[in-house]
Chain A
Amino acid sequence: MNKLDTNKQGASSSMSPFAALLGRIKADWQVYVLLAPMVIWFIVFLYVPMGGLQIAFKDFSLFRGISGSSWVGFEHFYTLFEDENFLRAIQNTFVISFYGLIFGFPIPIMLALMFNEIHHFVFKRVAQTIAYLPHFISVVIVAGLVISFLSPTTGIVNLALDALGFDKIYFLTNPEYFRAIFIGSNIWKEAGFDSIVYLAAIASVNPSLYESAKVDGATRFQMMYKITLPTILPTILIMLIIKIGNMVEVGFEYIILLYQPSTFETADVISTYIYRVGLQGSQYDVATAAGLFNAVVAFVMVYAANWLSRKYSSSSLW
């Protein structure tokens, strides 16, 4: 196989890059057919819409169309940054994401480490299945469950509080509870499934490292933090970079389903702001400006995280 590849490279080195690419496509067309749907998806849904980003700099009107609308420079950005609601949405986005990262990121790692320590086969499988299942529940249902559980009249939490002699709490209308409810239920939904990637990383740790440590006198806990954790650190860092890159994209649908005007103070994030301004308020140009800002921040963050990771560890996405 290596020999074959070398020959191919040797042959293509004398051609122009385009001819070489065509040659490769012709030779390995089956692989390119498999790749095509993803490339087409990226082009249609991510690259083509980028052309529409120009409306962030235009006084856009549906009737005049993109080309017919006049340029207004950074006016929409000034509007955004003068809007308290947008500034609040930025703050909320970062606060929710930051707390989500602080509390949500280590839990799948801990879960994976714990699953790895379970030696009873049936118990391990049952525990894993229970942890993975919430991932497959639609956010609409999760939101429904949360609303039902926390309902002031029929919710089990309030019934329990009531039974214990406490006052009922209006969890979903009280802004101070929103972040905890959102982050907590998100962890419940995704932590199990997110642990799979760490379990896979743990499975690749050479078992003789543990045996050697056992002979050297390491306890199970020492093996966990002196062998397992450092060995899966590259995976943890890659996942952290991805999470940081996605920080500004907090679960938009889930927030829409859970929040209400009384909790906007802590719940309204950039994506829900864009939804309200753009689709409900028909200010497409302002919403696009907000979306562009969101994307630029995300790009800077993922780039910075990758740079930091490459500098301080040997792991990076690119």
Chain B
Amino acid sequence: MSSNPNVTLNKVYKRYGDVEVVKGIDLAIEKKEFIVLVGPSGCGKSTTLRMIAGLEGISDGEVGVAGRVVNNVAPKDRDVAMVFQNYALYPHLNVYDNISFGLKLRKANKEEVEASVKEASSILGLDQYLERRPADLSGGQRQRVAMGRAIVRKPEVFLFDEPLSNLDAKLRTQMRAEIKRLHKRLGVTTVYVTHDQVEAMTLADRIVIMRDGKIEQIGSPMEVFTKPVNTFVASFMGSPPMNLIKGVMVQEEAGFFIKLKDNKVPVPAREGCTFTEGQKVYLGIRPEDMYLSSNGLNNFERISCHVDLVEPLGAEALLHIKLDGQDAVVKTDSRNTSIDEMSESSEIFLNLDYLHIFDGVTENSIY
């Protein structure tokens, strides 16, 4: 990372009376970086975004934009543009006037306004809708207008507050790609809030996973997916989430094993990982790393199970299984195996190359 981040949060707190909703966040966002704040409802991600925008006061700490502390700077002077969840389009203005609203407030001259709106509308494919009012537009078009309003400002930072959550699944996928394209084209630092981990994975350069007002992990999408720091991150990222099976560490001659009720899973030795005999742990394994056969696997363990339910998804299927009395999900290719065959499976194979272990008490990753 460079030493000159574009947006910084230093020990930032937000309190409403006695309730602390953001608890000392530290974050440095690089220029042109696409950062996604993700987490469950009430985790403080939107509040954090609003503090960057200046729509919420900062109880403690410092927020910086483009190298200056903006704690006491009005939102309009922070050089940020925000896209809201419900688009926040002015119903009495047409698309042109909505997009040019911010420029007109800043007393930009007519030619500049016209050129900026034209540029934004051609980027977003809104040319033929400029005379329409928001009520006459579809959800996707409204979202584009909201983005257009942010683009024309040419800000230092774009802030997106769950911008796709009001769209249907198909449109969401389409708009997600458009946002990504837009970021590539404009190269503006972007902070994006969502509770949808798929959006986070597909859009982000780095993902910030939040819980209860704190940052749980910051990393690239693959980092947070492959190396979750705790059970919360492990179960939040990925769809379906990682299976977490309770077990106890036992040491034998061959090394450490995770002892489940009826099964035992060997833990391949790894440098720097230490366990204690009898340590309570969670065995973490992604549904994609559990198989119905051992074909093609080098390092695996067979475990007996009972299939409760099969959910066919087309090319893949989700198997809800009971594994040592605990619930787990297996994601498997369904094109070569019939649903009946899947239902009758009594064993699965864990790919030990992708095994995770979390401490049973602290829930932090230990392997």
Contacts and interface: CB of A to CB of B under 8 A. Distances in A.
Contacts of A218: 76, 105
Nearest to B50: A211
B84 A217 contact: no
B90 A214 contact: no
B76 A231 contact: no
B217 interface: no
B345 to A, nearest CB: 43
A230 interface: yes
A209 interface: yes
Contacts of B86: 206, 208
A216 B102 contact: yes
Given A216-B76, A216-B153, A211 B88 contact: yes
Given A214-B76, A216-B102, A231-B90, 19 more contacts: A208-B85, A211-B55, A212-B88, A213-B101, A213-B105, A214-B54, A214-B55, A214-B74, A215-B80, A215-B81, A216-B101, A217-B75, A217-B77, A217-B105, A217-B106, A218-B76, A226-B90, A230-B93, A233-B92
Interface string A200-222: 00000010110111111110001
Interface string A221-244: 010001100110100000000000
Nearest to A217: B76
Interface string A50-77: 0000000000000000000000000000
A226 B105 CA distance: 10
A57 to B, nearest CB: 49
Contact of A206 (B55, B88, B101): B88
Interface residues of A, number: 17
B92 A231 contact: yes
B8 to A, nearest CB: 19
Contact of A212 (B74, B82, B106): B82
B364 to A, nearest CB: 38
A217 B102 contact: yes
B100 to A, nearest CB: 10
Contact of B53 (A215, A217, A230): A215
Contacts of B101: 213, 216, 226
Interface in B90-122: 90-93, 101-102, 105-106
Interface of B: 53-55, 74-77, 80-82, 84-86, 88, 90-93, 101-102, 105-106, 149, 153
19 contacts: A206-B86, A208-B86, A209-B88, A211-B82, A213-B105, A215-B53, A215-B54, A215-B76, A215-B81, A216-B76, A216-B102, A216-B105, A216-B153, A217-B75, A217-B102, A217-B106, A218-B105, A230-B90, A231-B90
Contacts of B77: 217
B269 to A, nearest CB: 54
B147 to A, nearest CB: 12
Q: Is chain A's binding surface mostly helix, strand, loop or mixed?
A: helix
B222 to A, nearest CB: 33
A206 B153 CA distance: 22
A208 B77 CA distance: 18
A230 B90 CA distance: 9
A226 B74 CA distance: 19
Nearest to B135: A314
Contacts of A214: 54-55, 74-76
Most buried by B among A211, A214, A216, A226: A216
A208 B102 CA distance: 15
Most buried by B among A215, A216, A226: A215
Contacts of B153: 216
Contacts of A209: 88, 90
Contacts of A230: 90, 92-93
A215 B82 contact: yes
Contacts of B105: 213, 216-218, 222
Nearest to B153: A216
B92 A208 contact: no
Contacts of A208: 84-86, 88
A231 B84 contact: no
Contacts of B84: 208, 211-212
Contacts of B106: 217
Interface string A245-263: 0000000000000000000
A171 B101 CA distance: 51
A212 B102 CA distance: 9
Nearest to A214: B75
A231 B81 CA distance: 23
A215 B92 contact: no
Nearest to B101: A216
Contacts of B85: 208
Nearest to A233: B92
Contacts of B149: 212, 216
Most buried by A among B76, B81, B85, B153: B76
A214 B102 CA distance: 9
B291 to A, nearest CB: 46
A218 B153 CA distance: 14
Nearest to A216: B102
B17 to A, nearest CB: 15
B355 to A, nearest CB: 45
